């Protein structure tokens, strides 16, 4: 029993050493902005900044029936969303930006790792001959110089063609019949080594997500036919066919916009740190000594 207790003491002492690799201090700031232009009518939101939760959007419609909307939101749990939508002749853009400052408040050099979840999403174009839907996602580290940690982007055009830049997200692929085109992807966990910060050092992680949707539906094109519902056909519009021509781009949590919205169960978000120097500092050697001494005493008694 004495030997068993001594071994427990040693294990607890070594666990205490691991606990000394404290989590980094964070300064987390969220920012959103966007614009929605329908024909020549424009509405904007942001830049709006907060440190725990932020959400806003804009929509615009003109006398001809062109429509556009944009919205973005995010919270401190790591949940976020950016989406753009429109019908007819429009231009819509939404941006979500996160600045996460990491401060090494420990007394020793620390190795940091960032884990992040890239949400599900899709680009959709229905009934257009000219138009695009796109997303652009960049995560950068600033520590003196700027280093790219992750980059992914894609643009879907009205012909159904996709131009992918950077890393394709998990499960990404195209689909859709006829004039309906889509490009969708699954959630993607990423992990990146952020390098070592000396005691008192600081680095900044910038997360930038932009979604855009742009559509041009020429007057008299009849892209979707002229069989709109009577109430819709009665509208005074440049082209009644705008009713069934839509473009949509989104990346982020599709759930409710709430400050306490959590990420999916399989998602990983956060910064972890561990001591970079494998040699224990003088202040920690005593913890090992206590455990070893207890183990030695138990052996002598045995």
pLDDT tens string 220-238: 343 343 444 444 444 444 4
Extended strands (E) in the chain: 25-38, 41-50, 53-61, 67-75, 80-87, 90-103, 110-118, 121-126, 131-143, 145-157, 162-166, 173-175, 180-185, 188-197, 202-215, 246-252, 270-275
Range with the poorest average pLDDT among 63-67, 124-128, 187-191, 239-243: 239-243
Mean pLDDT of 266-291: 66
Contacts of 135 (CB under 8 A, 6+ apart): 82, 121, 123, 152, 153, 154, 209, 210, 211, 212, 249, 251
Check residue 17 and give its pLDDT: 32
- 278 exposed, middle or buried (CB, 10 Å; 0-12, 13-18, 19+)? exposed
Range with the poorest average pLDDT among 110-124, 259-273, 280-294: 280-294
d(CA 76, CA 251): 17
pLDDT band of residue 131 (cuts 50, 70, 90) is very high
Is residue 168 over pLDDT 50?
yes
Range with the poorest average pLDDT among 57-71, 129-143, 144-158: 57-71
Check residue 41 and give its pLDDT: 93
d(CA 128, CA 218): 10
Is residue 198 over pLDDT 90?
yes
What's the pTM?
0.77
Mean pLDDT of 35-44: 94
Beta-carbon count within 10 A of 222 CB: 11
Check residue 44 and give its pLDDT: 97
Is residue 133 over pLDDT 60?
yes
Check residue 213 and give its pLDDT: 96
pLDDT in tens, 71-80: 999 988 889 9
d(CA 294, CA 297): 5
Mean pLDDT of 201-207: 94
Please, what is the Cα angle at 203 between 198 and 205, to 5 degrees? 150
- 29 exposed, middle or buried (CB, 10 Å; 0-12, 13-18, 19+)? middle
Check residue 148 and give its pLDDT: 96
Check residue 132 and give its pLDDT: 96
pLDDT band of residue 218 (cuts 50, 70, 90) is low
d(CA 206, CA 208): 6
**Residue 6 token pair:** 């001594």
Residue of 188, 190, 211, 201 whose CA lies nearest to 148: 190
d(CA 24, CA 272): 7
Contact 66, 38 (CB under 8 A): yes
């Amino acid at each position: 029993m004495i030997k068993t207790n001594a071994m427990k003491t040693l294990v607890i002492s070594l666990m205490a050493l691991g606990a000394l690799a404290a989590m980094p201090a964070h300064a987390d700031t969220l920012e959103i902005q966007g614009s929605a232009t329908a024909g020549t009518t424009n509405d904007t939101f942001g830049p709006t900044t907060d440190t725990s939760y932020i959400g806003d959007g804009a929509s615009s419609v003109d006398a001809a029936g062109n429509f556009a909307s944009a919205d973005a939101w995010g919270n401190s749990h790591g949940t976020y969303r950016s989406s753009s939508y429109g019908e007819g002749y429009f231009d819509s853009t939404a941006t979500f930006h996160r600045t996460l400052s990491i401060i090494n408040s420990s007394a020793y050099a620390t190795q940091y790792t960032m884990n992040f979840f890239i949400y599900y999403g899709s680009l959709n174009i229905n009934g257009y001959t000219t138009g695009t839907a796109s997303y652009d996602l960049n995560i950068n580290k600033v520590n003196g110089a700027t280093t790219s940690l992750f980059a992914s982007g894609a643009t879907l055009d009205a012909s159904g063609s996709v131009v992918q830049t950077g890393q394709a997200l998990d499960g990404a692929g195209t689909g859709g019949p006829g004039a309906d085109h889509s490009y969708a992807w699954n959630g993607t966990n990423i992990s990146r080594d952020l390098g070592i910060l000396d005691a008192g050092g600081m680095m900044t992680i910038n997360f930038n997500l932009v979604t855009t949707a742009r559509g041009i539906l020429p007057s008299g094109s009849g892209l979707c036919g002229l069989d709109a519902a009577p109430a819709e056909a009665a509208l005074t519009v440049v082209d009644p066919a705008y009713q069934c021509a839509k473009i949509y781009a989104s990346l982020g949590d599709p759930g409710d916009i709430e400050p306490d919205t959590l990420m999916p169960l399989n998602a990983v978000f956060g910064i972890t740190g561990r001591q970079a120097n494998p040699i224990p500092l003088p202040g920690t050697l005593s913890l090992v000594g206590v455990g070893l001494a207890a183990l030695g005493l138990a052996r002598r008694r045995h």
